[in-house]
Chains A and B, each alone.
Chain A
Amino acid sequence: MLFLGFVLAPIAIGAYYSLYNWDGLGPLTHFTGLHNYKIAFGDPAFVTAIEHTLILTGLALVIQGPIALGIALLLNRKFPGRTFLRLLIFAPYVLPPAVTAVMWSLLLQPGGLVDQVMKSAGLGGLVSLWLANVHIVLYSVFAVLTWQYLGFGIILLLAGLQGVPAELKEAAAIDGATPWQATWRVTLPLLGPTIRIWVFITVIGSLQVFDVIWLMTQGGPAGASDSMATYMYRTGFQNEAFSYGTAIAIIMFLFCFVFALVYQRFALRRDTAGALTRAVG
């Protein structure tokens, strides 16, 4: 019942509202069918927002994934100060996104700390208008998102590494495997389920990314850092085009839903099938 009332019903109502032209005040009288969806896909700003969202998602997988894995493998070894380092790397994830966004927009302002550090390191030629240059802003935002969310991936993978039996690595070493071979052929395959869950969480999170972008740039300048969610907020709430905003929300939902179904069917099923059916049956 709860699920029906709080999850399914709002989606159904949202889908219904998205078929109208509605300013949020009057009755729902102006039925326009799929007109809102047509405008959305005909609006270059929205298509760009989708591209940005996909770029952020792709970068998250390709860049954050290997870095998180590498650091997790390093932090899994025993060395002095390991607990402190783990704490340090996880710290940004604990910060509220609002704090992250305000802090980084101050660091990245023209003549700010980032510029000064780069200049004193002899990299002055690379200094840019990090948030004001339409060609760079998306990647500046991605760097901040990476700073914030990398710790999460590392902790998740570290937890997964705890589940890799030390005996197997010892056995591999006795059989003459190099550390590289042991990692590649023993640790990584056993880490598979954790990596697949991380991919799932990261993709869903990236498709919905909003807070850091909104607070740092509001999707600007000129939509150069717009994600689907910031576009939705601006059109739906700020412009008070409620039914249009709802249509965007439904499109976002479909993106997430289709990904979730496909990923569930082809990637996650192996893990859950193996873990659940065999253990239970």
Chain B
Amino acid sequence: MQRKRVILGVAVAATAATVLAACSSSGSSSTSTNSSSAKVTLSWWNNANTQPLLGVFNNVIKQFEAAHPNITIQNVPMQNEEFKTKVTPALRGNAPPDIYQQWGSGGQATQVQSGKVADISSEVNSWIGSLGTPATSWQTNGKWYGVPYDLHVVGFWYRKDLFQQAGITSPPTTIPQLESDDAALRAHGIAPIGLGSKDGWPDAFWWEYFAIRECSQSTVQQAMSSVNLGAACFTKASADLDAFVKTNPFQTGFLATPAQSVPNSSVGLLANGKVAMELQGDWEPAAGAGLTSNKNFTNELGWFPFPAVPGGAGDPKAVLGGGDGYSCTTAAAEPACAQFLQFLTTPAVQKQIIGAGAGLPANPAADGDIAVPAAKDAATADSAAPFIAVYFDTALPTTPGQNLDNAVAAWFASPDASGSKIISSVSGPS
């Protein structure tokens, strides 16, 4: 018996740990009451666990508590990946946090099924219209389940100095122009485009941008809501991307390059002048600034939108983007929780958040506070866009969305013109 125990123990340690982690509910220590005059404590789960945003949020809490003496906000910052694995069990358990971060669209719709996400329509209806169309990503079935505090847009960040070296006078506006610029950069010994394929999601930006250039707005929206990429334009997008990848636009070894955090990541390569451009979100300047000794890096950057694909049915001004937002759970005291979410969108607070490089303002009234010149171009393109396509992995329900990311990442290792594995990925294991 003794022997068997040892064997069993060794053999199942990993399995048991995994299963335990999946089943355990995570406790939050909120003591909420529903009376608006009584003392209220709200726990706030977010992924801002590093400076400068961590400090900004702590200051914002002080400002909010000073204006609302009966409300206490308990900041619970976590590392992003850790945060994502904790949210689902927490919504499943009996003690969810009061406020938690999420990214709207399909992911929000998945979480709403838990019954733990609060419908805050009656609290926000009077003011949320001022945030404009991007905020509607936090609606599910016509009801508000969250509020954004910043927005994101994906586009090309390029080194003006390297473009100049290669004799490129203005950024490309069509894919053929981009290809000839790549060739010019290569001829000057400069790797044209950085790509962090190790993490998978930067690959997805490429395929999704070709998709929203080839497909019309209604086709994309229909595909996201029906979880079906069967429309012919999605196959055309794979063929376009295949032809583009064949021109060898990326840096050597891009398949094993991480996206962020280390100097040899794709953003680090851009920050250190090892590649001339990268297709990335608006966090690029903030992510790169910490990875280079060049203090002037963010001012040397330029921004241009994803070039037009000749013959595509999509609007060339449509952008790929998303944003960060917060939801109240049914455990949270109202209206205190919705008041806090509104406070985060006020211009004074927006200015502090944007100052930390977190993203573009959710409230357009704060657009003037963007410090990086190139990021202003990105914000202008975002607000002028006729259609903001939410990242497909967020627009789709969680599992098909992640399957799509994995399929695109795998596609980059062995590209083919049909992209059939990408098309079928959204109906993969669930």
User: A interface vs B, CB < 8 Å?
Assistant: 3, 6-7, 10-11, 13-14, 17, 21, 23-26, 36, 39-40, 43, 102, 105-106, 109-111, 129-132, 134, 137, 204, 208, 210, 217-218, 220-224, 229, 232, 234-242, 244-246, 249-250, 252-253, 256-257, 259-261, 264, 272
B75 part of interface (Cβ distance < 8 Å)? no
A interface majority secondary structure: helix
Is the beta-carbon distance between A241 and B429 smaller than 8 angstroms?
yes
Is the beta-carbon distance between B412 and A221 smaller than 8 angstroms?
yes
Rounded to whole Å, the gap between the CB of A256 and the closest CB of chain B is: 4
Is the beta-carbon distance between A222 and B14 smaller than 8 angstroms?
no
Interface size on B, residues (CB 8 A): 50
B260 part of interface (Cβ distance < 8 Å)? no
Is the beta-carbon distance between A257 and B414 smaller than 8 angstroms?
no
Is the beta-carbon distance between A137 and B256 smaller than 8 angstroms?
yes
B interface majority secondary structure: helix
B167 part of interface (Cβ distance < 8 Å)? no
Is the beta-carbon distance between B429 and A7 smaller than 8 angstroms?
no
Is the beta-carbon distance between B10 and A204 smaller than 8 angstroms?
yes
B219 part of interface (Cβ distance < 8 Å)? no
A4 to B14 Cα, complex, angstroms: 16
A-B contact pairs, 7 of them (CB 8 A): A11-B12, A14-B15, A17-B19, A23-B110, A132-B255, A221-B409, A260-B10
Which of B43-51, B336-344, B355-363, B399-407 is the interface stretch?
Answer: B399-407
Is the beta-carbon distance between B14 and A208 smaller than 8 angstroms?
yes
Is the beta-carbon distance between B88 and A250 smaller than 8 angstroms?
no
Rounded to whole Å, the gap between the CB of A220 and the closest CB of chain B is: 6
A59 to B11 Cα, complex, angstroms: 20
Is the beta-carbon distance between B398 and A240 smaller than 8 angstroms?
yes
Is the beta-carbon distance between A7 and B9 smaller than 8 angstroms?
yes
- If A14-B15, A23-B113 touch, does A245 touch B256 (CB 8 Å cutoff)? no
A256 to B15 Cα, complex, angstroms: 10
A236 to B406 Cα, complex, angstroms: 13
Residues in A with CB closer than 8 Å to B8 are 7, 257, 260
Is the beta-carbon distance between B88 and A220 smaller than 8 angstroms?
no
Rounded to whole Å, the gap between the CB of A201 and the closest CB of chain B is: 8
Is the beta-carbon distance between B11 and A257 smaller than 8 angstroms?
yes
A128 to B3 Cα, complex, angstroms: 47
Most interface-central of B254, B264, B429 (chain A CB within 10 A): B429
Given A7-B8, A131-B255, A221-B410, 20 other A-B residues pairs in contact with their CB atoms under 8 A: A25-B91, A25-B110, A25-B113, A26-B113, A26-B114, A111-B252, A131-B256, A132-B254, A132-B256, A210-B14, A220-B410, A235-B429, A242-B22, A246-B18, A249-B18, A253-B15, A257-B8, A260-B7, A260-B10, A272-B3
Is the beta-carbon distance between A23 and B413 smaller than 8 angstroms?
no
Rounded to whole Å, the gap between the CB of A136 and the closest CB of chain B is: 10
Other-chain contact of B255, A21, A210, A220, A261 (Cβ < 8 Å): A220
Rounded to whole Å, the gap between the CB of B97 and the closest CB of chain A is: 15
Is the beta-carbon distance between B19 and A246 smaller than 8 angstroms?
yes
The 8 closest A-B pairs by CB, nearest first: A222-B413, A131-B256, A239-B402, A221-B255, A14-B19, A110-B253, A132-B255, A222-B410
Residues in B with CB closer than 8 Å to A234 are 406
- If A129-B255, A221-B412 touch, does A11 touch B200 (CB 8 Å cutoff)? no
A26 to B117 Cα, complex, angstroms: 12
Rounded to whole Å, the gap between the CB of B31 and the closest CB of chain A is: 25
A158 to B406 Cα, complex, angstroms: 44
A241 to B85 Cα, complex, angstroms: 12
Residues in B with CB closer than 8 Å to A208 are 14
Residues in B with CB closer than 8 Å to A272 are 3
Is the beta-carbon distance between A220 and B413 smaller than 8 angstroms?
yes
B371 part of interface (Cβ distance < 8 Å)? no
Is the beta-carbon distance between A239 and B398 smaller than 8 angstroms?
yes
B92 part of interface (Cβ distance < 8 Å)? yes
A239 to B88 Cα, complex, angstroms: 12
Is the beta-carbon distance between B3 and A250 smaller than 8 angstroms?
no
Rounded to whole Å, the gap between the CB of A23 and the closest CB of chain B is: 6
Rounded to whole Å, the gap between the CB of B198 and the closest CB of chain A is: 6
B240 part of interface (Cβ distance < 8 Å)? no
Interface string of B393-425 (1 = CB under 8 A from A): 000001100110010011111100000000000
Residues in A with CB closer than 8 Å to B257 are 132
Minimum CB distance partner of B23 in chain A: A13
Is the beta-carbon distance between A10 and B398 smaller than 8 angstroms?
no
Residues in A with CB closer than 8 Å to B402 are 238-240
Is the beta-carbon distance between A109 and B253 smaller than 8 angstroms?
yes
Rounded to whole Å, the gap between the CB of B196 and the closest CB of chain A is: 11
Rounded to whole Å, the gap between the CB of A4 and the closest CB of chain B is: 11
Is the beta-carbon distance between A221 and B413 smaller than 8 angstroms?
yes
Interface string of B1-35 (1 = CB under 8 A from A): 00101011111101110111011000000000000
B350 part of interface (Cβ distance < 8 Å)? no
Residues in A with CB closer than 8 Å to B197 are 220-221
- If A25-B113, A239-B402 touch, does A218 touch B200 (CB 8 Å cutoff)? yes
A130 to B198 Cα, complex, angstroms: 13
Minimum CB distance partner of A250 in chain B: B15
B111 part of interface (Cβ distance < 8 Å)? yes
Is the beta-carbon distance between B88 and A222 smaller than 8 angstroms?
no
A54 to B11 Cα, complex, angstroms: 16
Is the beta-carbon distance between A6 and B253 smaller than 8 angstroms?
no
Other-chain contact of A244, B3, B10, B15, B430 (Cβ < 8 Å): B430
B347 part of interface (Cβ distance < 8 Å)? no
- If A26-B113, A204-B10 touch, does A223 touch B15 (CB 8 Å cutoff)? no
